[in-house]
Amino acid sequence: MRKPVGQDPADAESALSGGAPLSTVVRVRSLLPSLPPAERRVAQRVINDPEGVANSTITELAQSCGTSETTVIRFCRAIGFAGYPELRLTLATEAGRAQSAAGGRVVGSDISADDTLEQVVEKVTFADARAVEETAAQLDIAALRQVVDTIVGARRIDVYGVGASAFVALDFQQKLHRIGMTCFAWNDAHIMLTSAAVLGKDDVAVGISHTGSTGDTIDALATARRRGATTVALTNFPRSPIAEVADYVLTTAARETTFRSGATASRLAQLTVIDCVFVGVAQKTFGTTAEALESTYDAVRGRRVRQDRKRR
C-alpha cells in the first residue's frame, strides 16, 4: 500500500523548498475539525485573536475558553508545539511579522450588516488574496512533485467533485485535455462510482472536497483506490475523512467568511493548487504540451470576433 504524503500540516514546513514558514493560524484552522471539543474552543480563540492569545497567560486562556490548563497544553502538542510558552512566542512573532508586511493595515474577514459596500469589497478581496497566499505558503512540495509525476505517467485521470468543487474539477479536466491527456471530470454520484470501478493501476483519481467530508467524493475515491488506481485528495483539512482514502493529499488554506461558507475563497485556493499541478505536468511534458497548446489555440482562433467587426 502506498503511504500517504503530506497529510499533516505540522510536517509541511520540512517539505517546502524555500517557501515561507507555515502560519500557526493556518495550521490550527486546517486541524480545527479533527480536534476534541475542548481543544477546539482553544483553537477557535487562536484563530479569532492570535495576538490576544500571545498576550494571555495559560490560566487566562483556559478560563476564557471554559477549559483547563491541561487541555491547553494538549492542544499545543496537537499542533506541533512543546508547550504553551512556545505557542505564545510564535504567535507574537507572526503577528508582528504580519503587521510589518501589511504596513500596520489589518482587514478583518467577517462581514457585518453595518459594513459599507466599500468595506465589503475590501474584506472579500482580502480574504480571497490571503487564501491564495496562505495556500501557496503551506503547499507540500514533496507531495505536489509526486502527484505531478504520477499524472504524467497515467493512462487516464478521473476527477471527482460536487457542488462548488465540481467547477474546479471541470477546470482541471479542460487544462489536461487541452494538452492531450485523457481526463474526465464527474459530479454525479452514480457516474463517479461507475467511473471509479473501471480504473486500474495505471490510472489516477483525484477527489476535490473543501471540507474533506463529502460522502459522494470519498466513496468514489475509495472505489478507485480499491481498483488499484493512485488516489489524490485536494482538501482544506488534512485530517478529514477524504485523506484516509488518498495516497497523496494536497491542501488549501482558505478561510471562510460571513455569507461565503465554502465559496469563492476556497475555489480560488483549489484552483491555485490545480494550476500548480497543471504547470508541473506541462513542464515535464514540455515538447508535446507546447505543440498541443499551439494546436488548440489555432483551432479556436477563428471563433473570436474581430475588432473591426465589433465597431460595425
* Cα torsion through 192, 259, 255, 98, rounded to 10: 160
Phi, psi of 157 (to 5 degrees): -125, 125
49: buried, middle or exposed (CB in 10 Å: 19+, 13-18, 0-12)?
Answer: middle
CATH class of 35-106: mainly alpha
Kindly give the confidence (pLDDT) of every residue in the chain, 312 residues in length, as a single tens digit, with 9 standing for 90 and above: 344 444 343 443 333 333 344 589 888 988 998 999 999 999 999 988 899 999 999 999 999 999 999 999 999 999 999 999 999 999 998 887 766 655 545 555 577 788 899 988 888 888 888 889 989 989 999 999 999 999 999 999 999 999 999 999 999 999 999 999 999 999 999 999 999 999 999 999 999 999 999 999 999 999 999 999 999 999 999 999 999 999 999 999 987 655 554 468 889 999 999 999 999 999 999 988 888 888 988 888 888 877 666 555
Distance (Å, rounded) from C-alpha 300 to C-alpha 312?
A: 22
Distance (Å, rounded) from C-alpha 268 to C-alpha 271?
A: 5
Q: How many residues does the chain have?
A: 312
Asked if 278 and 176 touch (Cβ cutoff 8 Å), the reply is yes
* Domain 141-300 sits in CATH 3.40.50.10490: yes
Task: Specify the pairing of strand 183-186 against strand 203-208.
Answer: unpaired
Rg (CA), the chain: 22
Distance (Å, rounded) from C-alpha 215 to C-alpha 192?
A: 12
Closest CA to 80 of 6, 10, 16: 10
Domain ranges of the chain: 35-106, 141-300
Closest CA to 195 of 160, 168, 228, 162: 160
Phi, psi of 59 (to 5 degrees): -70, -45
